[in-house]
Amino acid sequence: MRHVISALVQNVPGVLSHIAGMLASRGYNIDSLAVGETEKNQLSRMTFVVVGDEKVSEQVLKQLQKLVTVVRAEDITDKEHVARDLMLIKVEALPGARSKILEMVNVFRAKVVDVSSATMMIEVSGNESKLEGFIDTMRPFGIVELVRSGVIAMPRG
For 112-147, how does the pLDDT look when each residue is reduced to its tens digit (9 = 90+)?
Answer: 999 999 999 999 999 999 999 999 999 999 999 999
> For the domain with range 2-75, which CATH number is right: 3.30.70.260, 3.40.50.300, 3.40.605.10, 3.40.1210.10?
3.30.70.260
Q: Is the pTM of this model over 0.75?
A: yes
Instruction: Give the pLDDT confidence score for residue 157 in this predicted structure.
Output: 86
Q: Is 105 helix (H, G, I), strand (E, B) or coil?
A: helix
If you classify domain 82-155 with CATH, what class do you get? Answer: alpha beta
- Say whether 82-155 and 2-75 share the same fold: yes
pLDDT of residue 24: 87
| CA-to-CA separations, 84 to 95, 111, 125, 147, in angstroms, rounded | 32, 16, 7, 14
Q: Write down the pLDDT at residue 52.
A: 87
Position 39 scores a pLDDT of 95
For the chain, what are the domain ranges? 2-75, 82-155
Question: What is the four-CA torsion angle of 145, 148, 149, 152, rounded to 10 degrees?
Answer: 170
pLDDT of residue 79: 94
- Predicted confidence at residue 61, as pLDDT, reads 93
pLDDT lower than 70: segments of the chain = none
